[in-house]
Amino acid sequence: MTSLANDFRSWILSRAMMLRHVVEGCTVESPDNEHVRIVTEKATANVNFYELEPGAPEIVELNIIPADDPDNPTFFLHFEMDDLDHAQQLFDELTDTLSQLTAQKVTRILLSCTSGLTTSFFAKKLAEVATTLSLDYEFEAKPIVQALEVAGEYEAVMLAPQVHMHRDEMVERHPDLVVFEIPGAVFGSYDAGTALRMLLNAMSENALAARMEQADTRIVRKLDNDKRILVISAVYGVKDSLYSYRVYDHGEVVLDGCVEKPGRSYCDVKDVLATVHLQGVDPHALDAIGLALPGVVDGSTVHMVTLDLGMPDFAKLSEGLGVPIFVDNNANAAAVGCYVSQDEFENVALHRQPTGYCVGGEGLVVDGRLVRGNHGLAGELGYLVSKLGARDKLRKKGWTSEGMQELVSNYLMGVIGVAAPEVIYVAVDLLPDMDELAAELARWLPEGSVPKLVHVCDYHERVLVGEYALCVNALRQAAE
Average pLDDT over residues 152-168: 92
Tell whether 371 is covered by a domain: yes
Domain harbouring 273, CATH code: 3.30.420.40
Residues 6+ apart with CB under 8 A from 175: none
Q: Give residue-wise pLDDT tens across range 416-428.
A: 999 999 999 999 9
The dihedral of CA 262, 264, 267, 268: what is its sign?
positive
Query: Would you say residue 156 has pLDDT above 60?
Result: yes
Are 450 and 352 part of one and the same domain? Answer: yes
Are 192 and 286 part of one and the same domain? Answer: no
Distance CA 159, CA 169 (A): 12
Distance CA 114, CA 250 (A): 56
Quick check: 66 and 101 in contact, CB under 8 A?
yes
| Complete DSSP assignment for 398-410 | GGSHHHHHHHHHH
Are 411 and 300 part of one and the same domain? Answer: no
The three-state secondary structure class of 279 is: coil
Are 14 and 46 part of one and the same domain? Answer: yes
Q: Structurally, how many domains does the chain consist of?
A: 4
Distance CA 304, CA 464 (A): 20
Are 141 and 196 part of one and the same domain? Answer: yes
Q: Give residue-wise pLDDT tens across range 389-412.
A: 777 778 788 888 999 999 999 999
Name the phi and psi angles at 289, rounded to 5. Answer: -130, 130
Are 340 and 390 part of one and the same domain? Answer: yes
pLDDT computed for residue 311 by the predictor = 62
Question: Residue 230's pLDDT band (boundaries 50, 70, 90)?
Answer: very high
Are 453 and 351 part of one and the same domain? Answer: yes
User: H-helix or E-strand containing 473?
Assistant: helix 459-479
Question: Residue 170's pLDDT band (boundaries 50, 70, 90)?
Answer: very high
pLDDT above 70 as % of the chain = 96
Q: Give residue-wise pLDDT tens across range 452-478.
A: 999 998 999 999 999 999 999 999 999
Tell whether 84 is covered by a domain: yes
Question: Residue 329's pLDDT band (boundaries 50, 70, 90)?
Answer: very high
Beta strands at 288-293 and 325-329: parallel, antiparallel or unpaired = parallel
pLDDT computed for residue 238 by the predictor = 67
Residues 6+ apart with CB under 8 A from 50: 34, 58, 59, 60, 61, 278
pLDDT computed for residue 185 by the predictor = 87
Are 80 and 117 part of one and the same domain? Answer: no
Quick check: 341 and 461 in contact, CB under 8 A?
no
Domain of 249, in residue numbers: 228-330
Average pLDDT over residues 294-314: 69
Q: Is 244 left (phi over 0), alpha (psi -120 to 50) or beta?
A: beta
Query: Would you say residue 383 has pLDDT above 90?
Result: no
Q: Give residue-wise pLDDT tens across range 51-98.
A: 988 888 899 999 999 888 888 888 888 898 988 998 998 899 888 888
pLDDT computed for residue 425 by the predictor = 98
Are 452 and 336 part of one and the same domain? Answer: yes
Tell whether 478 is covered by a domain: no
Tell whether 218 is covered by a domain: no
Query: Would you say residue 309 has pLDDT above 80?
Result: no
Helix 459-479 with 330-340: angle, nearest 10 deg: 90
Are 340 and 443 part of one and the same domain? Answer: yes
CA Rg value for the chain: 24
Average pLDDT, rounded, for the chain: 89
Looking at 271, 298, 330, the residue that finishes a domain is: 330
Query: Would you say residue 326 has pLDDT above 90?
Result: yes
Query: Would you say residue 369 has pLDDT above 90?
Result: yes
